[in-house]
Amino acid sequence: MTKVALGTVIVIAALSGDVFAAERTAATLTPKVLEEIAQVEAEIDRIEGQTRERLAMPPDNQVQQIELLGKLMLYDKELSVNRNEACAFCHMPETGFTGPVSELNRTTGSYPGSVRTRYSERKPQTHAYAPLAPVLHYNPGQGDLVGGNFWDMRATGRRLGNPAAEQAEGPPTNPVEMGLSDIACAVYRASQQPYRALFEKVWGQQAFALAWPSDVEQVCARPGPPPASDPLPVHLSPTDRGRAGTTFDQMAQAIANYEASAEVTAFTSKYDAVLAGKAQFTAQEQEGYDLFRGKAQCNACHRDGGPGEDPLFTDFTASNIGVPANPRLPYYVESRPDALGYVANPAGSSFVDGGVGSFLTKGHPLSQPSVADAQWVKFAPGNQARFQVPTLRNVDKRPYPGFVKAYGHNGYFTSLKSIVHFYNTRDALPRCPPNDPGEGKTCWPAPESSDNINTNRVGRLGLSDSEEDALVSFMQTLTDGFMARDQR
pLDDT, residue 308, reads: 82
Q: What percent of the chain has pLDDT over 70?
A: 93
Q: List helix spans (H) across 92-176.
A: 102-106, 163-168
| pLDDT tens, residue by residue, 28-53 | 567 888 899 999 999 999 999 999 99
pLDDT, residue 21, reads: 35
| pLDDT tens, residue by residue, 80-113 | 999 999 999 999 999 999 999 999 999 999 999 9
pLDDT, residue 488, reads: 56
Report helix, strand or coil for 240. Answer: helix
Handedness of CA 285, 291, 293, 296 (dihedral sign): negative
Distance CA 357, CA 453 (A): 13
pTM of the predicted model over 0.75 = yes
Tell me the average pLDDT across 324-329.
96
Distance CA 70, CA 68 (A): 5
> What is the maximum alpha-carbon separation in the chain?
67
pLDDT, residue 294, reads: 97
Q: What is the DSSP string of 158-191?
A: TTTS-HHHHHHTSGGG-TTTT--S-HHHHHHHHH
Confidence of residue 340 (pLDDT cuts 50, 70, 90): confident
Q: Please enumerate in sequence order all residues whose Cβ is within 8 A of that of 75, keeping only pairs 6 or more positions apart, or say none.
A: 44, 47, 48, 51, 86, 87, 88
Summary mean pLDDT of the chain? 93
Confidence of residue 17 (pLDDT cuts 50, 70, 90): very low
| pLDDT tens, residue by residue, 229-262 | 999 999 999 999 999 999 999 999 999 999 999 9
Confidence of residue 26 (pLDDT cuts 50, 70, 90): very low
Confidence of residue 13 (pLDDT cuts 50, 70, 90): very low
Confidence of residue 6 (pLDDT cuts 50, 70, 90): very low
pLDDT, residue 244, reads: 98
pLDDT, residue 3, reads: 40
